[in-house]
Amino acid sequence: MNKEFLSTLTILYAEDDEAINQEMSSQLSKVFKKVISTKDGVEAFEEFKKNKNEINLVLSDINMPKMNGLELLKEIKNTGYDIPIVFITAHTEESFLIEALKLKVNDYLTKPTGIVDIVTKIEKISLKKQAEQNIKNEQNETKEYFELINKVAIVYIFNHEKKLIYTNDFLNDLLANENEDSLLGNEYTSLFHPDISKDILNKQWEDLQNNIKWQGKIKYITNHNTAFYANATIMPTEDESNPKHKKYISVNFLTTKEENERRAYKKQLIYNMQEARRIFRVAQEKINSLTKELKRYEAYDEKEKVFKRLKESSQENFMKLQKSEEKLKRIKTQYEKLTLGINSKINNISMAIKDMKDETEKNTKKIYKLRTDLKLREQFITKINLEIEEKKAKVYDLEDVLNFRTKEKEKRS
């Protein structure tokens, strides 16, 4: 897809369905230079009349209110303006297609169809149209060139039988030939002076029969027996009226000083015209390119205002940023001081915690030792208590024995 070529085209688009129209116009605008969107045939034709020199192709639906696509095509054709037309239609009936073909529609697409298919079809038709226009321009330039050549050069054409079939006005004037048709049918060598050698003529005809271009100086004679010389170029070419045979075109320039000067002037004139056309084409291409570039800056003033506002806003934000940076520096300094004090306190606390930890470990060991000693003493006390209990029991037993004995004694006494 030639995106650069497509970006130079202007499309007239006609579609009555609002949703489809908006969507398609949006998609087409991304590809083409300009899309003129219309909702029916009447509006499309009005836009065509206003912008026909700008529009490169018409893209239209067939079934539309007020004026359908076929009627739009007829109206455009009636203007005599040759512009490619493509239909996008849901109709596949033979009658619609035959009518469209009779009206010489360039092509059609059947709904539903995608944007890629549409763009591809438009590109193909537009490139073909451009090529045809280039050929037409070249043909017009060639025609103008030969019209100029006919004014400054002797031109005559003869057929495979050596018979003259065309002589231009410049030759007839030089020969003092009042009836231009009187020469037709004669051998082309009848224009030559009798002094010309037969060998030269035979060699000339031999070269032409072998399809070789012949160049050389030829001596001519007028009806008043006045001789003149010309530098001749004879070219074999196809005979359109009789493809089996050739015809021969002879272009001759007089060799007298005045004619040489005149011919040089005309040649320069032709060159200047061709150069002017070339410069015009280049300039037009440059203008088109600059116009396209200029469209990119159509809203420049508005964008400049926006840019100015953004610049002012940026400056304000920059000042705020600077103030924020200064504030951040102060906060950072305070933070560093605070951090330094906190770190010192943390170090002191860490050392105190370490001391407390060491002291705790010492106390824990002491407590452990005391607990061990206490346990041992508890065990010792328990042992003593047991011994005391045993001794108590023995004492009780002894008291009982003593009491018993005392009672016995009392009984005896």
Q: What is the pLDDT of residues 134-181, one digit of tens each?
A: 878 777 776 777 777 777 788 999 999 999 998 888 888 888 776 667
Half-sphere exposure of 161 (CA within 13 A, CB side): 7
Which residues have CB under 8 Å from 2's CB, separation 6+? 123, 127
List pLDDT tens digits, range 213-240: 999 999 998 888 888 899 999 999 887 7
Contact 231, 256 (CB under 8 A): no
pLDDT at 182: 79
Mark which of 201, 235, 255 sits at the end of a domain.
255
How many domains, in total, are found in the chain?
2
Q: Cα–chain-centroid distance for residue 201?
A: 61
Instruction: Specify whether 115 is located in the same domain as 194.
Output: no
* Residue 36 contacts residue 55 (beta carbons within 8 Å): yes
Residues 37 and 120 in one domain: yes
Q: Domain end: 98, 113, 145, which one?
A: 145
Q: Distance between CA 342 and CA 340 in Å, rounded?
A: 6
Q: Scanning the structure block, which residue is given the tokens 């160049």?
A: 215
57 domain-assigned: yes
Query: Are both 12 and 118 inside the same structural domain?
Result: yes
- Whether residue 126 lies inside any domain: the answer is yes
pLDDT band at 364 (very low <50, low <70, confident <90, very high): confident
- Greatest Cα pair distance, the chain, in angstroms, is 220
Query: Looking at the predicted structure, is the pLDDT value of residue 34 above 60?
Result: yes
Distances (CA, A) of 199 to 131, 204, 404: 47, 8, 195
Residue at 251: amino acid letter: V
120 is a domain residue: yes
**Structural domain harbouring 132:** 3-145
Claim to verify: residue 78 and residue 170 sit in the same structural domain: no
Tell me, yes or no, whether 140 and 159 share the same domain: no
Query: What pLDDT is stored for residue 158 in this prediction?
Result: 94
What is the rounded CA–CA span in Å between residue 213 and residue 242? 20
Instruction: Classify residue 300: in a domain, yes or no.
Output: no
Q: Which CATH number characterizes residue 84's domain?
A: 3.40.50.2300
Last residue of a domain, one of 117, 145, 173: 145
Q: Give me the pLDDT at residue 257, please.
A: 58
Residues 114 and 14 both lie in one domain? yes
For 87-103, how does the pLDDT look when each residue is reduced to its tens digit (9 = 90+)? 887 755 566 667 777 77
What is the spatial distance between Cα 65 and Cα 42, in angstroms, rounded to a whole number? 9
User: Which of the residue ranges 169-173, 254-258, 293-297 has the most confident prediction, judged by mean pLDDT?
Assistant: 169-173
Q: Strand, helix or coil at 342? A: helix
18 within some domain: yes
Over residues 262-291, mean pLDDT:
72
